[in-house]
Amino acid sequence: MVYFVSTPIGNLKDITLRALETLRSADVIFCEDTRHTLKLLNAYDIKKPLQSCHKFNEREAAEKIAAAASEGKQVAVVSDAGMPVVSDPGNIVCTVLRERGIGYTVLPGANAALSALVLSAMPADSFLFLGFLPEKSGERKKLLQKYRDIEATLIFHAAPQDLDGYIACLFEILGDRPACAVREITKVHEECISFNLSEGLSCEKRGEFVLIVGGAKRAECPLNCLPPEEHIKRYMDEGYDKKEALKLAARDRGVPKSELYKYTIDL
């Protein structure tokens, strides 16, 4: 069996009891950086064989993981921080295991993107995680164009040396929007800085950042200028029944259907 184990994103105490049990009982642990994982294991007095599984050898590592699991060994897969696969190595491993019918499961835990979203106080009812943006400027702009009109809050990972370039590109493609840069999550110097994309970010660029950016504003429906009853009737004239017309008008106005129901009684 293969276990994808979420590990702390900063504070070593942010690890689950189940994760510790799994790491202690594993026959081998595949990790992004053996030196980094060794610090975690030493903190909990866990002694296990470590093998690397990073973006440059993931295909080879996937074969070793599949072979070990096929032999009946218990294999744990971790990244340097947070959940493997999410902006980290592991996706190729999952694909190989699924193709070969080898069982695997996930042990949930700390997550930088979701933690940053909560710390930012920005809308969390709908959000889109985009991870690290492409390195090339042209590819970066092309990707952002696809999500320019998305109303959901956008979440990005950013290395400190890329942060200013990310913000400039976001402003160029998305226009001015509220944003929040979060760093050192769960650590002593945890920091959450709110700003507008047009302003840029004036702070020390150290440590990995999570960048939260406001979604596109809802386009104003031209029918909203009509009286509610006429708004609903316009949809009925297009062939919608009264119930569906009420639903569409409420969506346009951003209000509950119950608020407009009284306008349908005489229609």
The two three-digit tokens of residue 200, written as one number? 């840029």
pLDDT band at 200 (very low <50, low <70, confident <90, very high): very high
* Backbone φ and ψ of 214, nearest 5°: -60, 150
User: What average pLDDT does this structure show over 245-266?
Assistant: 84
> What pLDDT was estimated at residue 82?
95
Which domains are delineated in the chain? 2-107 (3.40.1010.10), 112-213 (3.30.950.10), 222-264 (no CATH)
> What pLDDT was estimated at residue 238?
87
Whether residue 31 contacts residue 88, with contact meaning beta carbons closer than 8 Å, is answered with no
Amino acid at 46: I
Which of 103-107, 225-229, 246-250 reaches the highest mean pLDDT? 103-107
User: What average pLDDT does this structure show over 8-35?
Assistant: 97
The two three-digit tokens of residue 78, written as one number? 């971790």
Amino acid at 76: A
pLDDT at 218 > cutoff 80: no
pLDDT at 254 > cutoff 80: no
Which burial class, exposed, middle or buried, applies to 45 when counting CB atoms under 10 A from its CB (0-12, 13-18, 19+)?
Answer: exposed
pLDDT at 47 > cutoff 80: yes
Closest alpha carbon to 8 in 207, 185, 209: 185
pLDDT at 252 > cutoff 90: no
Q: Chain-wide mean pLDDT for the chain?
A: 93
pLDDT band at 175 (very low <50, low <70, confident <90, very high): very high
Say whether pTM exceeds 0.75: yes
